[in-house]
Amino acid sequence: MSTFVDACRRARVDRTPVWFMRQAGRYLPSYRKIREEKGILEIAKDPELASDVTVDPVRQLGVDAAVVFADIMLPLEGIGVKFRIEENLGPVIDNPVRSKEDVEKLGDFDPEEQVGHVLSTISLSVDKLAGVPLVGFSGAPFTLASYLVEGRPSREFSLTKKMMYSDPDTWKLLESRLSKLASAYLKAQIRAGASAVQLFDSWVGCLSPGDYAAHVASYTRDVFRGVGDVVPKIHFCADSSPLLEQFAGTECDVLSVDWRLPIDTVWERTGGRKGVQGNLDPAAAAAGGNAMEDGVKDIMRKARGKRGHVFNLGHGVLKETPPENLKRVVEMVHGERGE
């Protein structure tokens, strides 16, 4: 086992493992050079190239885990959703899902057939990593639904909530289908060699605890139950504080939290039953200097003596982050004794 996997399982480790969400991407000069000639989806669909992008941060930064280079929307393409990635905006869907008929038109999901390039990227990356674990990922049912219904990134999620409130039968059908898709996708990534998987529910923090319990929690739980206990399961959400106890009930192994919540509070509120991943502000990592180093020291102090800490950012690496800042974070984290 690796230090990363052991920490996810809340085993005793010699040092705290560290990796960074979005570490395979736009802040690295090597990646920007590739992007001069190819788009994000072109890279993601080229397993050899995507595996190089996946592995490169491990070699450059000394992190304890890789994360597969892919896009959260790729499995949706397989079921008939047409989308494009717009620079500085994100995914834009040409055929949003707004009715029961739209949901029923979505095709069946076959990971080997429809996202075989992602699975090949994982297999190739595992070979290149020579023992360093790889994290696979999927969007959670709510977050995938929010893209499908809104048609583009949103701040209010008004159309998504409207369906959830006023057309519950369609909402249940959509969430059920997406939970099966996410579970099948993650299981396929595990078969391809992923040592852990992360479910991104990036936007579910827009919901109240009551709405989350009534309309979302059971589908997230279905994903994790479907994946099983073969590898550690990480659950991430931004703005997670109001829903933290409910996230802990979704049968994940690790709660990945943003910087808005003191990391020791996570263990206190969940009874120390889960691993905790996080949670340096990405802006502090981008700024470097005292802001970054003081932030790292504070997190490590609050996590001292706790089982199951995986150091990470509270969200993805910002594109303006100097790679040397992340190297310094790794050095600092590794310099501390683990639990």
Q: DSSP string covering 178-224, please?
A: HHHHHHHHHHHHHHHT-SEEEEE-TTGGGS-HHHHHHHTHHHHHHHH
The range of the structural domain enclosing residue 53 comes to 3-334
Asked if 318 and 285 touch (Cβ cutoff 8 Å), the reply is yes
Q: Let me know if residue 339 belongs to a domain.
A: no
Q: Rounded to the nearest 5°, which phi and psi values hold at 242? A: -65, -20
Q: 120 with 44: CB under 8 angstroms?
A: no
Report CA-CA distances (Å) from 318 to 41, 163, 182, 323, 326.
19, 33, 26, 11, 11
Lowest-confidence region among 38-42, 89-93, 307-311: 89-93
With a cut of 70, say whether residue 206 has pLDDT above it. yes
Kindly list the distances between the CA atom of residue 55 and the CA atoms of 123, 140, 166, 218, in Å, as whole numbers in the listed order. 12, 25, 45, 35
Domain annotation covers residue 210 = yes
Number of structural domains the chain divides into: 1
Give, in degrees to the nearest 5, the angle at Cα 211 between 205 and 215. 100
Query: Is the confidence at residue 153, as pLDDT, over 90?
Result: no
* H-type alpha helices, the chain: 3-8, 29-35, 40-44, 47-61, 74-78, 100-105, 111-114, 116-129, 141-150, 158-166, 168-192, 209-215, 217-227, 244-248, 263-270, 282-287, 289-303, 323-334
pLDDT of 54 over the 90 cut? yes
What is the share, in percent, of the chain residues with pLDDT greater than 70? 99
pLDDT above 60: residue 38: yes
Chain-wide mean pLDDT for the chain?
Answer: 95
Q: What is the CATH number of the domain that holds 40?
A: 3.20.20.210
DSSP, collapsed to helix, strand or coil, labels residue 309 as strand
* pTM of the model as a whole: 0.96
Give a yes or no: residue 274 inside a domain: yes
Q: Is the peptide bond before 325 cis (omega within 30 degrees of 0)?
A: no
The pLDDT score that the predictor gives to residue 89 is: 83
Catalytic residue set: 22, 26, 35, 71, 147
State the first-to-last Cα distance of the chain, in angstroms, to the nearest integer.
16
Region 280-298: mean pLDDT is 98
- 236-276 residue pLDDT tens: 988 888 999 999 999 999 999 999 999 999 999 999 999 99
Residue 155 maps to a domain: yes
d(CA 260, CA 324): 25
Model confidence pLDDT, tens digit, residues 86-130: 887 889 998 899 999 999 999 999 999 999 999 999 999 999 999
**CA of residue 65 relative to chain centroid, distance:** 13
**Any domain includes 33:** yes
Residue 1 reports pLDDT greater than 80: no
Query: What is the pLDDT confidence band of residue 337, given thresholds at 50, 70 and 90?
Result: low
What are 254's strand-pairing partners? Answer: 234, 275
- Inside any domain, residue 187: yes
Find the mean pLDDT for residues 186-206: 96
Question: Average pLDDT, stretch 155-161?
Answer: 94
- Per-residue DSSP letters for 282-302? HHHHHH-HHHHHHHHHHHHHH
Model confidence at 338, pLDDT cuts 50, 70, 90, reads: very low
Please check the confidence at residue 135 and state whether its pLDDT lies above 80: yes
If you average pLDDT over residues 128-133, what whole number do you get? Answer: 96
Q: Point out the least confidently predicted range of 79-93, 191-205, 272-286.
A: 79-93
